[in-house]
A and B are shown apart, each in its own frame.
Chain A
Amino acid sequence: MKKTHTPTDHSNPVISIRGLKKAFEDYAVLRGIDLDLYQGENLVVLGRSGTGKSVLIKIISGLLKPDAGEITVLGHNMEQITEKELQELRVRIGFSFQNSALYDSMTVRKNLEFPLVRNRKGITRAEINTAVETVLDAVGLSQTINQMPAELSGGQRKRIGIARTLILNPEIMLYDEPTAGLDPITCIEINDLINEVQQRYNTSSIIITHDLTCAKQTGDRIAMLLDGQFQRTGTFDEVFDTDDTRVKPFFDYNFIH
């Protein structure tokens, strides 16, 4: 699916971050991040490995605690949020992990049912089956319903991982390296799926990647993470229209080599 630029409501950020800092022992990974994600927007966070991209979305989802800074997600201040509110908020955020993180001991069906059964009390068997079939259809993998994760290819695992998050109808999607380790054709299929999800489910997304093709195909806006801060933010062309020696090699390497 070709990316159609989605109109975004800039008065209504679904995620707002100010002065976010995070260090691991003596190494400061994030050094004062400011970021807004707007309703209906696909924001790509680009950066080299180890620059704290994944740390950023883990902090947003509450998996890691920041050292400093203010984070507001869907109107909730993450510093003041109670455990119960965090549980409820997490259902509204989909997280697609780099290695899919499918539950090894469960079939695809059980993987998809798991979040649904645990978060929608009183849901009927028929409703579960319909939801599972719908998300599997959305990611184009209906035939894998009874397979185990070990029987799936890397691309299929990514799709099922995305399907598992979609089953709860999230308002925000966080993608951690969605195309890492995949062949170029599968990468394009995953990029198309990300765009499809955005339009079909009306999600706002943060896509963490170092793959410029992915960034170009999926991003409404790009934020380049360098030295623990966003050094350049804008459209793809705006970000790479620069002589900055820290940014240019990134572009050259992706498209020339």
Chain B
Amino acid sequence: MDTAESTTAVKKNSKFKQSLVNFFTDLYKINQFILRFFREAFVPPFEFKEIVRQCFEVGVRSFTLISVTGFIVGVIFTKQSRPSLSEFGAQSWLPSLVSIAIMRALAPLVTALIASGKVGSSIGAELGSMRVTEQIDAMEVSGTKPFKFLVCTRVLATTLTIPILSTYTGLIAILGGFLNVSQNEGTSWSTFIQQVFEPLTFVDFVASLIKSIVFGFTIGIVGCYQGYNSTKGTEGVGKAANGAVVTAMFLVFIEEVIIVQITSWFR
């Protein structure tokens, strides 16, 4: 090995070591951020007014998109599942299949992905912009706790609102499924609803709710972490918004896998 090759190898090695150090440093910082949230969020004084305002913001921001997407998911899923079931003459199972897929997996997941894009990026950009324009510092020096006011309220808002949105997405998707089934098979609303709820168990509802709460918390905490710690001016704001979306989406998928695995033990 000549000197040039050995220098390149050393450089690569030190770069890898540096990335590894950065990764664990970030992990430690995120951990500290989450612990700080739990230390501050449940200690008075509570920011009820701001939490309600943020819940409204989260809900309104995503409502239209979630309504349209939920409906389309319901229609498309029903449409795409029909041929496979028809092959086995099991078309009558369509409402049950739709409800299981939507309530167990699609509704929380679709809602979380949309909220990651709409709400997560918005939180990242908003807090990032406040950080680089010293608005967060201004709050701090005026005797306000910015973490409590900005971070705790947003994380609580996403944690509370996303399960509601997820339930709404499920209902809209089932409605989409019903319209498709009713058009093709002529199934009545009462029969459809009966078949929809028949296969669902208590575990399904609880698992779906827990999943949405975890997703909501993740979207809020990731968006806030990225924005609150953003640096390097306007470039940092863009990075915070982008980081909030990418990281939240990635974590949502990981959590989905873990929660599905855990809930399968209870079935």
Contact = CB atoms under 8 A, between A and B. Distances in A.
B142 A97 contact: no
Nearest to A58: B137
A118 B138 contact: no
B241 to A, nearest CB: 16
Contact of B135 (A61, A98, A104, A168): A104
A93 interface: yes
A99 B143 contact: no
B185 interface: no
Contacts of A97: 134, 137-138
Contacts of B137: 58, 63, 95, 97, 101
Contacts of B140: 63, 90
Contact of B142 (A58, A99, A164): A164
Given A97-B138, A101-B138, A168 B143 contact: yes
24 contacts: A62-B141, A63-B141, A90-B140, A90-B142, A90-B143, A95-B138, A95-B142, A97-B137, A97-B138, A98-B134, A99-B133, A99-B134, A101-B133, A101-B138, A102-B135, A103-B130, A103-B138, A104-B129, A104-B130, A114-B142, A115-B142, A119-B144, A165-B142, A168-B142
A41 to B, nearest CB: 21
B135 A88 contact: no
A87 interface: yes
A91 interface: yes
B143 A91 contact: yes
Interface of A: 58, 61-63, 87-88, 90-91, 93, 95, 97-99, 101-104, 114-115, 118-119, 164-165, 168
Given A87-B143, A102-B138, 4 more contacts: A88-B143, A97-B138, A102-B135, A104-B135
Nearest to A83: B145
A93 B141 CA distance: 8
A97 B140 CA distance: 12
B143 A114 contact: no
Contacts of B134: 97-99, 101
- Residue from A90, A93, A101, A103 whose CB has the most chain B CB atoms within 10 Å: A101
A65 to B, nearest CB: 13
Nearest to A97: B134
Contacts of B130: 103-104
Contacts of A104: 129-130, 133, 135
A102 B145 CA distance: 16
Contacts, number: 57
Nearest to B47: A118
Contacts of A101: 133-135, 137-138
Contacts of B138: 95, 97, 101-103, 164
A130 B135 CA distance: 25
B129 A118 contact: no
A115 B140 CA distance: 10
A63 B135 CA distance: 13
Contacts of A115: 142-144
Contacts of B129: 104
Contacts of A164: 138, 142
B135 A90 contact: no
A93 B137 CA distance: 13
- Residue from B130, B138, B139 whose CB has the most chain A CB atoms within 10 Å: B138
Contacts of A87: 143, 145
Interface in B61-82: none
B253 to A, nearest CB: 32
A98 B137 CA distance: 12
B33 to A, nearest CB: 17
Interface in B95-148: 129-130, 133-135, 137-145
A97 B137 CA distance: 9
A73 B27 CA distance: 36
Given A101-B134, A104-B129, A114 B141 contact: no
Interface string B157-180: 000000000000000000000000
B248 to A, nearest CB: 22
A88 B140 CA distance: 11
A91 B143 CA distance: 5
Contact of A119 (B133, B135, B143): B143
